[in-house]
């Protein structure tokens, strides 16, 4: 009788074990899967943090994500030209200095579609004209030109195929004819390609901008291009370098008359360092050097980028 009880106890224990083990495993499986999802999500966030320097090329922000970018930049440009006054022509040296803070708002409407809004703050600009021993100085202060941009990623990098991003940009004339603005509205678009050869990223863009005439003044349309590369030094610091160019397709016109020799070609070389200060805050010092006479001699400043997760 005792032996029968033992056999029954062993059978009951085996049955209970057989029933409990599958439930235990199935209970643990979602937790393990959840951990894998968390690890994958953290890896994606870390990779996006390393790629934050590509925010002007790729669509980095998903639906509902918001990024606020505060920038402050100083530029200096010196040009030598001939000025005409009536029948007299004089050799002159023009020096322009600009200090302009701005706020850029980036928002992910849906995945692969982002809208950016550039809001310039109160800035200051001055221009000096040296003709012989005489110097004339003018200055302006106020808001710069506002701009808006829509960026759509039509293809994500797979194998040998690069990212393909289309963009459209509109710029206002909120600064009027002051030294802080261009004096005209403009509308443009372009295509950007981004290719990763780990740990280096290469990118390039070609675009065209149409400028609307205002009160008889038309600075001409522009062809823009850039080519650059970037890479991560570690999990918090990224370096990037790019060449930016703008070429006027025709001379500036005033009241229908072309101004001879006003076509410009501006090319500059830009260096940047992107540093992750906290999980969602980045600091990025930038310096740009002019490579042609029409480009600003030097531009330097910094951006502070803050990212907010979906609401």
Report d(CA 192, CA 151) in Å as an integer: 10
| Of 56, 15, 21, 96, the residue nearest 296 (C-alpha) | 96
Q: What is the pLDDT of residue 286?
A: 97
Architecture of domain 54-308: Beta Barrel (2.40)
* Nearby residues of 302 by Cβ (< 8 Å), 6 or more positions away: 71, 72, 283, 284, 285, 286
Cβ atoms 101, 123 nearer than 8 A = yes
Q: How far apart are CA 243 and CA 6, in angstroms?
A: 84
Residue pair 155/163 in contact (Cβ under 8 Å)? The answer is yes
Nearest C-alpha neighbor of 233 from the set 205, 272, 268:
272
| Residue 46: predicted pLDDT | 64
pLDDT at 275: 94
Burial class (CB in 10 A: 0-12, 13-18, 19+), 115: middle
**What average pLDDT values come out for the chain (311 residues) when binned by 10 residues?**
48 42 45 66 66 91 92 92 62 89 95 95 91 84 94 93 96 89 92 93 96 82 95 90 91 68 84 93 96 93 87 47
């Amino acid at each position: 009788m005792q032996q029968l009880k033992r056999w029954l106890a062993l059978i009951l224990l085996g049955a209970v074990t057989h029933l409990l083990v599958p439930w235990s495993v199935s209970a643990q499986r979602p937790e393990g899967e959840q951990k894998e999802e968390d690890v994958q999500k953290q890896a994606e966030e870390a990779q996006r943090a390393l790629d934050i320097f590509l925010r002007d090329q790729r669509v980095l922000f998903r639906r509902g994500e918001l990024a606020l970018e505060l920038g402050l930049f100083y530029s200096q440009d010196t040009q030598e030209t001939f000025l005409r006054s009536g029948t007299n022509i004089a050799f002159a040296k023009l020096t322009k200095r600009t200090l302009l803070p701005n706020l850029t708002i980036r928002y992910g409407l849906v995945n692969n579609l982002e809208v950016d809004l550039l809001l310039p703050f109160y800035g200051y600009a001055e221009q000096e004209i040296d003709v012989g021993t005489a110097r004339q100085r003018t200055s302006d202060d106020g808001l710069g030109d506002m701009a808006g941009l829509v960026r759509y990623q039509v293809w994500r990098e797979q194998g040998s195929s690069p990212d393909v991003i289309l963009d459209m940009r509109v710029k206002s004339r909120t600064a009027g004819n002051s030294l802080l603005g261009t004096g005209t509205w403009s509308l443009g678009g372009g295509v950007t390609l981004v290719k990763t050869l780990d740990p280096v990223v290469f990118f390039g863009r070609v675009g065209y901008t149409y400028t609307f005439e205002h009160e008889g003044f038309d600075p001409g349309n522009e062809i823009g291009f850039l080519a650059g590369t970037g890479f991560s030094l570690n999990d918090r610091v990224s370096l990037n370098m790019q060449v930016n160019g703008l070429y006027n397709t025709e001379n500036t016109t005033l009241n229908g008359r072309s101004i001879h020799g006003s076509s410009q070609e501006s090319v500059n070389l830009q260096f940047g360092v992107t540093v992750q200060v906290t999980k969602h805050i980045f600091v990025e010092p930038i310096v740009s050097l002019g490579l042609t006479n029409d480009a600003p001699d030097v531009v330097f400043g910094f951006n502070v980028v803050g990212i907010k997760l979906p609401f």
